[in-house]
């Protein structure tokens, strides 16, 4: 098991598989990123979704037109694959939603995803082959000379269930509540959330407030390693936990008949175990660049993290098409700050006779840039920040997880929507992602001729279908 740079838990990047939070083991984090991705593609959840609707889907239009109890079904399958034999993920999702005809809706969503492939373990490349002990301690894997060390035993399966309910709470007010649970072999999570919205000025303005909580249990293969301890030394404890709470406030303004804008702020706080139990750092000689002394140590991150993000989004309905632009600023007390620019253009290809809209294409472009965490290190230097065998001679926190590095990410994609009448619609989305990590400066000795932080390339394909019944 290991890491994908697309994991939202460590990095501040909104899911690049189609879009924030949480944590856990590397796989737990990636699972959550995948869930966010599919959720985004299904058009489910989040205050941000309030800005949706300048161009409602065929299914939504059909549902809204009815005052009787209705059902809506959405299904999707997402395939995510990283280059160079890294992570491959397959995630089918199905959701059902019932509107009772009195503006009350209840939903269920079931997700099953599987991860396979290889993921960086945090060690730095060397001019000779390196052999590592597997996380379970029952085997080894070897990395070729000059290559980034990858844990090739990266496999996991997750199942997750989400239940939600929303209803009017009085004139111009709505409330929504949800509960979710997910489980995999080394990570479990339960969460609760609720939100309140209030419309003003004949629904031209909307105020939104939300609160979510999440409790995670981390039970990695081989136990939780001793942070800053010598790696593969067999010293660990059974499990650890983490608690996360998020507050969200948003304001939506209808600027004109064809323009809507939303501003939202998110404050998040996590406490407990934040390290990745499968990540290590190399200890190298400051002259030769070769591993030396204790060779590898377990990473260590602070046991709390406070996050802030501000998002501004606008949508314009042109004669037929819709333009969607957003900007997000993020920073946390780990020293990470990030900027995200996101743009989509919904291009209407024609009408299907007034039964809820015609086919459309939606190109998507996103640019992301983040700074490194204060404790990000590509390696530790023997006799500098670290002294082998000397207790206490290592930095309080250190991680070589590239999700905490300074990097730039670019996403380019397109979505095809094919309404088939009576509120039914097929969707197909294809996206490519490229991540360029800043190379470390002044690599010593043999490291100077190696590509220490190779670019990451990834591909996403998603097929979805929705229909009322």
pLDDT tens profile 28-55: 444 444 444 444 444 433 333 343 444 4
**pLDDT of res. 137:** 78
**pLDDT of res. 43:** 43
Q: Contact, 146 vs 127, CB < 8 A? A: yes
Q: With cut-offs at 50, 70 and 90, classify the pLDDT of residue 189.
A: very high
Neighbouring C-beta atoms of residue 418, cutoff 10 Å:
16
Radius of gyration in angstroms for the set of CA atoms belonging to the chain, rounded to a whole number: 23
**pLDDT of res. 38:** 46
**pLDDT of res. 401:** 96
Name the β-bridge partners of 80: 89, 460
Q: With cut-offs at 50, 70 and 90, classify the pLDDT of residue 415.
A: very high
Q: In this model, does residue 353 exceed pLDDT 80?
A: no
Q: With cut-offs at 50, 70 and 90, classify the pLDDT of residue 394.
A: confident
Q: State mean pLDDT over 287-297.
A: 95
Higher pLDDT, 417 or 10: 417
User: What are the C-alpha distances in Å from 222 to residues 111, 234, 277?
Assistant: 27, 8, 9
Q: Contact, 29 vs 9, CB < 8 A? A: yes
Q: In this model, does residue 337 exceed pLDDT 70?
A: yes
Q: State mean pLDDT over 177-194.
A: 96
């Amino acid at each position: 098991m290991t890491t994908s740079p697309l994991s939202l838990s460590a990095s501040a990047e909104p899911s690049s598989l189609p879009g924030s939070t949480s944590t856990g083991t590397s796989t737990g984090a990636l699972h959550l990123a995948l869930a966010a991705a599919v959720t985004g593609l299904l058009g489910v959840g989040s205050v941000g979704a309030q800005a949706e609707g300048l161009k409602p889907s065929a299914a939504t239009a059909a549902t809204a037109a009815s005052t009787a109890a209705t059902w809506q079904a959405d299904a999707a399958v997402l395939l995510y694959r990283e280059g160079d034999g890294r992570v491959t993920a397959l995630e089918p999702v199905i959701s059902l939603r019932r509107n009772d005809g009195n503006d009350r809706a209840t939903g269920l969503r079931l997700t099953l995803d599987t991860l396979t492939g290889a993921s960086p373990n945090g060690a730095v490349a060397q001019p000779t082959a390196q052999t590592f002990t597997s996380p379970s301690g029952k085997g080894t894997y070897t990395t070729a000379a000059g290559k980034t060390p990858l844990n090739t035993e990266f496999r996991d399966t997750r199942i997750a269930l989400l239940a939600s309910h929303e209803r009017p709470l009085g004139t111009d007010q709505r409330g929504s509540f949800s509960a979710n649970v997910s489980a995999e072999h080394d990570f479990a999570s339960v969460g609760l959330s609720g939100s309140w919205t209030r419309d003003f000025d004949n629904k031209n303005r909307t105020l939104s407030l939300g609160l979510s909580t999440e409790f995670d249990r981390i039970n990695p293969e081989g136990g939780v390693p001793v942070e800053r301890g010598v790696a593969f030394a067999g010293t660990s404890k059974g499990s650890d936990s983490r608690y996360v709470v998020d507050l969200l406030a948003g304001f939506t303004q209808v600027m004109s008949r064809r323009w809507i804008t939303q501003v939202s702020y998110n404050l998040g706080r996590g406490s407990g175990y934040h390290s990745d139990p499968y990540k290590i750092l190399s200890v190298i000689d400051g002259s030769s660049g070769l591993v030396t002394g204790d060779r590898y140590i377990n990473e260590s991150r602070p046991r709390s993290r406070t996050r802030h993000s501000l998002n501004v989004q606008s949508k314009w309905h042109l004669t037929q098409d819709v333009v969607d632009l957003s900007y997000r600023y993020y920073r946390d007390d780990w020293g990470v700050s990030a900027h995200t620019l996101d743009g989509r253009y919904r291009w209407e290809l024609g009408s299907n006779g007034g039964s809820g809209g015609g086919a459309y294409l939606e190109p998507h472009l996103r640019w992301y840039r983040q700074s490194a965490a204060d404790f990000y290190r590509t390696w530790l230097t023997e006799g500098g920040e670290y002294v082998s065998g000397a207790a206490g001679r290592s930095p309080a926190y250190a991680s070589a997880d590239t999700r905490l590095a300074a990097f730039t990410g670019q996403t380019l994609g397109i979505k095809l929507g094919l309404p088939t009448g009576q509120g039914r619609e097929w969707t197909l989305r294809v996206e490519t992602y490229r991540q360029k990590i800043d190379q470390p400066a002044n690599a010593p000795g043999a490291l100077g001729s190696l590509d220490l932080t190779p670019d990451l390339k990834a591909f996403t394909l998603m097929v979805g279908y929705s229909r009322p019944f």
